Structures are given as C-alpha cells and as structure tokens.
Chains A and B, each alone.
Chain A
Amino acid sequence: MTARSPISGSNLVPYISVIVLFFAAAPLALCCGPLWGLGALGVAVISLLTTRRLQRRLEKTAGTDWLLDEGLVQAQKMAAIGQLSAGVAHEINNPLAIIRQEAQWMQTLLHPDHFQGVEEAKELYDSLREIIQQVDRGKEIVHNLLDFARKRPPVLQMVAVNKLIQDMAALVAKEADQKGIKINLRLAPDLPQIYADAPQLRQVILNLLNNATYAIQRKGEVTVTTRVAGEEALEIIVSDTGPGIAPADLPRIFDPFFTTKPPGQGTGLGLSICHGIITKLGGRITATSEAGQGATFTITLPLQPREG
C-alpha cells in the first residue's frame, strides 16, 4: 500500500490566490487609498498561512488514515481467517481422524509375529509410525490456526510448564544464537503440573521469546524463570536485556493493534492475543520495564482451572 495525498491536485491554489490578491492590492491602493491596499495584502498573507496550516494538517491526517487502513485490513484479515479456520477445522480434522485410525489399524494387523524374517517389515512399521506423527502434526496446525484466530476456547489438560518452555526455547535458540542472543532457563525443579491449554500456552511463550529476541536485536540474554507462587499459582517470568519499553508505551502494550514495530513488520496483535489467552486461563500477564534495563513479562497461572 502506498501513501496518498488527498490534496495533491490543489497544491498550487494558495500560491495562485496570493498572486491574484497581490495584483488586486495595487489598483485598490490607487483608487481607494493605501489602507485598502495594505488590507488586501494582509488578507493574502493570512490566507496563505491558513491554507498552508490546513494543508499540513490534512497531510498528517492522511498519514494516520493510512495506518488506520492498515489496521482495518489486518482486522478484516483476522476475521476472514477466523471464519475460515472454524469452518476448515472440522472438515480437516475428520479426514485426519480417518487417516490416523487406518494407520493405527494397519499397525494392529501387521503384527511383527507375521513378518519374521521379512526385511521390509521394519520400513513398513517406520512408515506407519510416520503417518501417525504427521497426522498429529496436521492436527496441531489446525489447532494453531484456531489459536491465531482466537476462535478456539481453551481446551484444558494437564500441562508440564517447564517442558513446554524448554520446547519453545529450543525452537528459537538457533535463530537467537545467530544473533548472539543467549537463552537462559531457570526452571523450578519442583514446579507442579497445571491444568491449562498446552497449544495456547506454547503460543504465548513463543510470542514472548520472539518479542524478547526482536527487542535485543544483537547480543544479549533472554531469561525464562519459573517458580511456585503461593499454594495455588505459578509464575513464568520472561526477561530480556533489550532497550526496554518506553514509559509512555507501557500502559498500551497489550492493546490490540498497538505496536512499536515499523508498519508492515508487526500486527500489534501478538501481546493482545497473549493477554487474551492468559486471562481466559484464569491468570494474568504484566509487563515492567525501565529504559535501558530491558523488559520483564510476568505470567501468573492458577494450578487449577479458573474461569477468566
């Protein structure tokens, strides 16, 4: 999308009107006296200044309009993806369920006892195992699509938070390493399992890790800490050594469409989705930061489900 100026065709209008008024001022001064001439000149100057001011204001508004358009396009995109995902989820999950089941049935039928001495049997079992794994991957993708569109209510199950964090850290570690960013994990060994939605929690952790590495850009550290918080909750703390969040931005960072990234690079939805997920799981997410001291995101989650 390119920025457009709504007044491009009328840029010359103020200048032409000033010239006209200037030439009108001379005969006015001659026939009606110098005061009338000065008055006409004054009107010319004031109209020029006012028009310039209006022009600047219009240009500024046009710029914001463009940003607003971008946001609206994004919101429409999200709504479209939401509708599509909800419809597609069932249609995709059913064939996936059939494929998975057929593969599992084949595993039952192809009992190793019947294939003793058959060389290809091992490959056959390997293929079947792979089919089932890929089906589970497909299922995960469908669910992630629904998470993205925020259409899927949480599906609660027992979640080992430390393991989930390790998985997500491993996912971003390679790219972070290339940028000279170290990811430290300080995970409480006695952390109890919690009742939560694993794919959604993964999405939150991944989002925070990606934000942290984006903020650092080059060389720095991201630290993820887990700890028990009282008898009924646990905390996940993600902190980075990046430039921190400006005090003016801090109250708005969980707002939808608020982003400090350049247009086109961030949707401003990541943290708002995280906020939505954590709230729905009955927890809360907060951010603290001091300029130059990095940023810290703290998630508090209940051990037992609590309607958010």
Chain B
Amino acid sequence: MNAKILLVDDEERFRTTLGKMLKAQGLEVTALGSGREALTELGEKDYDVVVLDMRMPDLDGIATLTEIKKIAPQIEVILLTGHASLDAAVEAMRLGGYDYLLKPCPVEDLLAKIESAYERKVTREGKSG
C-alpha cells in the first residue's frame, strides 16, 4: 500500500508516535495538530486518507470533516474518538466519514481501516477515471 496519509490530532505525542508507526508500515505520513492546519495542507497537497481526531480545540473533528468533504470529497476520512460516542460517530458517517475507531486502539486496527479506505478510494477513482 502506497497511500498518502494525513494525521490530525491535537495531542502532539500521540500523532508523532502514530506517525512513526504508520511510516514503519510503509505509508507516507504527515502529522498535523489542528483542523485548520489540515484544511490548509489539503488545499495544497493531495492525500488519500485523513485520520482525524474527533475532539480538538478550535475546529473539532466533525467541523473539519465537513470542510474536507467540501474541498476534497474524494479523500477518505477515518475518525478517532476518545469518547465512546456512537452518536458523534454516526453523525461523522452521515457527513461522509469512512469509519471510526475508539481510542485507545491497537495500531493494527487502524492500519486495517486505512487499507480498506485506501482501496475504496482507488476503486472509485479507477471507475470514474
């Protein structure tokens, strides 16, 4: 899998280590600390999958997801939630999110979701292109 991943989480240590772990799996990863930074980045570069924390100060996961879907609807978004809130996750899916994971979770679970999200994006692009 040669996917380009954008990782967005306000917890610096969390995103740094997760970034390293995903890179170790051969993924191309950029880690950012806020929804606004992510939107700027997505306006400039192409990504395949965004891994987005649900609860962040300023622009939260839901708001960031809504904006992402406006500027780059083809990008798949996986949400991470520290709070076991099915309601918020269902809302995220309704807004076009690909899937969600409860924190803390094994990195293998996230990898599996990234992989299937990437596959869906590639399949879609193949069909439309």
Q: Which of B19-63 contact A (CB under 8 A)?
A: 20-21, 24, 55
A90-B18 CB under 8 A given contacts A101-B107, A104-B107, A155-B102: no
CB proximity of A283 to chain B, nearest CB, Å: 17
- With both beta carbons as reference points, the residue of chain A lying nearest to B88 in the complex is identified as A153
- With both beta carbons as reference points, the residue of chain B lying nearest to A153 in the complex is identified as B86
Q: Which residues of B contact A18 (CB under 8 A)?
A: none
A86 vs B85: C-alpha distance when bound (angstroms): 10
Chain-A contact segment, one of B9-17, B66-74, B115-123: B9-17
Contact of B86 among A96, A99, A100, A154 (CB under 8 A): A154
Tell yes or no: B103 within 8 A of A by CB. Answer: yes
What 1/0 mask marks residues of chain A from 83 to 115 whose CB sits below 8 Å from any chain B CB? Answer: 000100110011011111110110010000000
Tell yes or no: A67 within 8 A of B by CB. Answer: no
B18 contacts A155, C-beta separation under 8 Å? no
Q: Which residues of B contact A202 (CB under 8 A)?
A: none
A94-B84 CB under 8 A given contacts A101-B107, A108-B21: no
Contact of A100 among B24, B83, B85, B104 (CB under 8 A): B104
A155 vs B100: C-alpha distance when bound (angstroms): 11
Tell yes or no: A146 within 8 A of B by CB. Answer: yes
What 1/0 mask marks residues of chain B from 89 to 120 whose CB sits below 8 Å from any chain A CB? Answer: 00000000000001111110000000000000
A189 vs B14: C-alpha distance when bound (angstroms): 42
A153-B85 CB under 8 A given contacts A105-B17, A108-B24: yes
Q: Which residues of B contact A156 (CB under 8 A)?
A: 86
CB proximity of A268 to chain B, nearest CB, Å: 26
- With both beta carbons as reference points, the residue of chain A lying nearest to B12 in the complex is identified as A98
A93 vs B20: C-alpha distance when bound (angstroms): 21
Q: Which residues of B contact A86 (CB under 8 A)?
A: 83
A104 contacts B21, C-beta separation under 8 Å? yes
Contact of A101 among B24, B86, B87, B104 (CB under 8 A): B104
Q: Which residues of B contact A153 (CB under 8 A)?
A: 85-87
B82 contacts A97, C-beta separation under 8 Å? yes
CB proximity of A180 to chain B, nearest CB, Å: 39
Q: Which residues of A contact B14 (CB under 8 A)?
A: 94, 97-98, 101
Q: Which residues of A contact B11 (CB under 8 A)?
A: 94, 97-98
Closest 7 CB pairs of A and B: A97-B104, A93-B82, A97-B103, A100-B104, A90-B82, A153-B86, A90-B83
List 5 contacting pairs A-B, 8 Å CB cutoff, sorted by A.
A97-B11, A98-B104, A108-B24, A135-B104, A153-B85
